[in-house]
A and B are shown apart, each in its own frame.
Chain A
Amino acid sequence: MSKNKNDVSRRKVLKGAAAGLITAGVAPTIFTKGAWAQEYRNEPKGSSVVLGFNVPQTGPYADEGADELRAYKLAVEHLNGEGDGGMLNTFSSKALKGNGILGKKVEYVTGDTQTKSDAARASARSMIEKDGAIMITGGSSSGVAVAVQALCQEAGVIFMAGLTHSNDTTGKDRKANGFRHFFNSYMTGAALAPVLKNAYGADRKAFHLTADYNWGYTTEEAVRTSTEAIGWETVGTILTPLTQTDFSSYIAQVLQSDADVLVLNHYGGNMVNSLTNAVQFGLRDRVVNGKQFEIVVPLYSRLMAKGAGENVKGIFGSTNWHWSLQDEGSKAFVKSFGTKYGFPPSQAAHTCYVQAILYADAVERAGTFNPCGVVEALEGFDFDGLGNGPTHYRAEDHQCFKDVLVVKGKENPESEFDLLEIVEVTPVDQVIYPPNHPMFGGDDVSLVGACNTGV
């Protein structure tokens, strides 16, 4: 095996160790020196600024990711003064002039989150480290949002969350450099409960089927708490594996209970399958305790409604935004999106477009790309004209507070996009909560903490 004479001698080991120690002593000063050349991470020096759009291009939420990317491209056009300007015209803040951000032309790079937190962090890091992105935005799941938000906090860039509905994003995992425009599980519960009480009465027995992961847990908790507050009783809950495609065995258990409402805490393909199963089992024709059996889907999206087809008719749920809203902002957005792509935008597209505009506006108002300046400009910011009515970016947890839409599957859709109708707009006062609410980490969680500039 070995026929070598150069065995490691004690002398060599000592020499090596000494050299190693010297390097270790010198290294920190060498390595930190470069970082001080910039005032903050990825400070844009040229005539352009790079934004990073990190969306799922492959995997289960690829459809939503594609729609998010369309919205971002539209936002970049509008920021650079191309196209019809979209919601920039209706936005209450007039800081943006259509000449880029702070006079710098907006450029962008894209990454694929694959709806995996590792992949999402890898693509975000590559955009920050290689392409010099000053802000990362996008994503279509809470796991990814929480992971990328923490990364951006460490790296010292701003993160504008895309579609993420879990309480944790602005709850126990909140970060100073991260912001969420989308609503959350708590708001869904709070908004749905009164509508459900009006529609189905206060004396109901609910059964929950819940996707077995964080978002499922928080949504179930939120809906259960708020429906129990209006007098409903929860008679059973089952956690269903995320990879499940056939829900009939769970539906059978619902049939055996004396529940008269089924709550499906499912999202995406899960919801399409579980709802289809439930309807096939004739749940909607059932009469229990002398009452018509009902199904509720807490978080709706148009893409899900499309997947479930006929089955969504008359089923209640909540959504962040819908293209059929008639305020000026929504109309302007639907018009410019429709002109460019030929169909109306989804709620994911809307929240991403708004986040990009809000970031640009905050930079413009702060007069700097410095993340700490941006954080200051966004905290406590009140705005209007972006499709959700008057909205407030709360300083304590970086969550947007706005009215929540309660929707229902439309009975007579006029087109393949016209699947949901707005039942009620729950005013913001009903869905607000204190930042130290138990569902959001309680008192153990510090406030967002200090912003990080990455240097």
Chain B
Amino acid sequence: MFKLEKKDAILLLIVALMLIFAPFILNPFPENSGLAQFNAGYPDLMQRFVFFGIFAIGFNILFGLTGYLSFGHAIFLGVGSYAAIWVMKLLTMNILLAIIVAIIISGLAALVIGWISLRRSGIYFSIITLAFAMMSFALAYSVLTPITGGETGLQPKVTDPRILDSALLAGDTPKANLFGLDMTATYNWQVGDWVFTFNVGYYVAAILMFLCFYLSIRIFSSPFGMMLRAIKSNQQRMNYSGLNSKPYTLAAFVISGMYAGLAGGLMVAMDTQVGPERMFWTASGEVVVMTILGGAGTLVGPFLGAGLIKYMENIISKINVGVLHDWFYWLPDWLENFVVTIIYPFVGKGWNLTLGVIFMLVVIFIPGGLVEGIRRIINWFVKRKNISASREITDSDNMQQAGEIQQAGEEAASRGKNNG
């Protein structure tokens, strides 16, 4: 399907199903139960999963394939957002134009910044991009206040010109739309105790995310993707063999910048406001963490990493002392207080701590990220099934084999001793 390998097609299908059924997958707990705290199926968070999914998938094209670690990717997220909001202020509230302009402008920004910073590789490249990130934030926060709105950012106002839109009715506020379809329109479907939320903005973003993911698969499996991988494995050898690798890295940089611009444009389309913190250097660091956490260089990993981080940030951070006491009220008082004291530093405002611990565990034990973790689990199940199926037949063989291995081991050991 769609010119894909079978394995990739299955992956694409899984992602499509996840995107379509997200309102169900993310709201597994009934509305009034205590576990509803963990439900993530509300429009804002679902949209955020998608924005940062796109952002991380794009970042992965640069980092996962070429190995160039950019610490300034949030610049393009911000540039895309500012471009989109200006389109909304000056031209039209239709998000299509805003998103297209966001992608183009951030692509241009990526071209300039990439052209400069790709003159170096490795740590120097990372530092240059980091410098750009800090510079851009400072520009947006203070120097360019007339263009960016500074600290308070930009929002569409009733008084903006918007030359392509018809005049607003009295008392109406400008609303982001796609040919009249309001992005904030939401339908709540109540089934028994469960409530599932379907939001227009989310599905629009999800369609774009699907396209982005498809494009990323195609890039991964294309000759271009192969060149990028070659750059990662040994750029010097490529250069010595007479190949100029710069156009490839620059192309990858621009493509991932455009992904970021799309994510930024979408953020504005779904929530019409931009603030400069969006391009703060920690935001650039966050996407690095997302990608590594999920699995750099894998197709679906960055998306999973983005989802996990945004889930922690929005759900775990809201568990406060009161909620914890509600959970453990059935314990004796002293034990309740003890348990709450132990858990509290890791939830609520301490969500970063939990994230840090998870990140360390992932990097130490499954360096391939969540994707590798999932793969290991699947392999383990598959292996166990195979073993139990073949155990009866090969039992005697195994015994024999084990004996042989032991013998071989002993021989090796004695040889080692002799040598020593």
Contact = CB atoms under 8 A, between A and B. Distances in A.
A449 B171 contact: yes
Contacts of A109: 318
Interface in A153-212: 153-155, 166, 168, 173, 212
A411 interface: no
Given A2-B3, A8-B2, A446-B158, A34 B187 contact: yes
B200 A31 contact: yes
The SS class assigned to the A binding surface is: helix
A58 B349 contact: yes
B314 A123 contact: yes
Contacts of B277: 116-119
Nearest to B45: A126
B236 interface: no
Interface in B1-25: 1-5
A417 B314 CA distance: 35
B42 interface: yes
Given A31-B187, A116-B275, A153 B145 contact: no
Given A110-B320, A213-B150, A241-B138, A129 B271 contact: no
Nearest to B275: A117
Interface string B213-231: 0000000011100000000
Contacts of A8: 2
B314 A2 contact: no
Interface in B178-194: 179-182, 184-189
B317 A444 contact: no
Contact of A214 (B1, B145, B180, B197): B145
Interface string B58-90: 000000000000000000000000000000000
Interface string B347-381: 01100100000000000000000000000000000
B126 interface: no
Query: Quick one: which of A27, A110, A239, A452 has the most chain B CB within 10 A?
Result: A110
A181 B86 CA distance: 31
A129 B159 contact: no
Given A31-B186, A118-B275, A151-B271, A146 B152 contact: yes
A122 B44 contact: yes
A153 B173 contact: yes
A24 interface: yes
Given A31-B187, A153-B173, A4 B271 contact: no
Contact of B153 (A1, A4, A125, A147): A147
A159 to B, nearest CB: 13
A398 to B, nearest CB: 16
Contacts of A1: 3, 221-223
Contact of B273 (A151, A155, A212, A213): A151
B106 interface: no
B151 interface: yes
Given A35-B185, A151-B273, A27 B142 contact: no
A273 B2 CA distance: 61
A143 B275 contact: yes
Contact of B159 (A34, A126, A130, A446): A446
Interface residues of B, number: 59
B198 A130 contact: no
Nearest to A4: B3
Contacts of A118: 275, 277-278
Nearest to A141: B151
A452 B158 CA distance: 14
A19 interface: no
A126 B44 contact: yes
A112 interface: yes
A109 B326 CA distance: 14
Interface string B311-339: 00110011010000000000000000000
Contact of A125 (B171, B180, B271): B271
A142 B314 CA distance: 22
A121 interface: yes
Interface in B245-284: 271-273, 275, 277-278, 280
B318 A110 contact: yes
Given A123-B314, A125-B44, A130 B39 contact: yes
Contacts of B162: none
A154 B184 contact: yes
Contacts of A217: 145, 150
Interface of B: 1-5, 39, 42-45, 48, 138, 141-143, 145, 149-153, 155, 158-159, 171, 173, 175, 179-182, 184-189, 197-200, 221-223, 271-273, 275, 277-278, 280, 313-314, 317-318, 320, 348-349, 352
17 contacts: A24-B179, A27-B200, A28-B181, A35-B185, A58-B349, A58-B352, A116-B275, A118-B275, A123-B314, A126-B42, A126-B45, A126-B318, A129-B43, A130-B45, A147-B155, A214-B149, A449-B158
Given A34-B189, A154-B175, 7 more contacts: A27-B181, A35-B185, A110-B318, A123-B318, A147-B273, A147-B275, A450-B171
Interface of A: 1-4, 6-8, 24, 27-28, 30-35, 37, 57-58, 62, 109-112, 116-119, 121-123, 125-126, 129-130, 141-143, 146-147, 150-151, 153-155, 166, 168, 173, 212-215, 217, 239, 241-242, 444-446, 449-450, 452
The list of the 10 closest CB pairs from A to B, nearest first, reads A117-B275, A125-B44, A212-B142, A450-B171, A116-B277, A2-B3, A31-B185, A143-B151, A34-B187, A129-B42
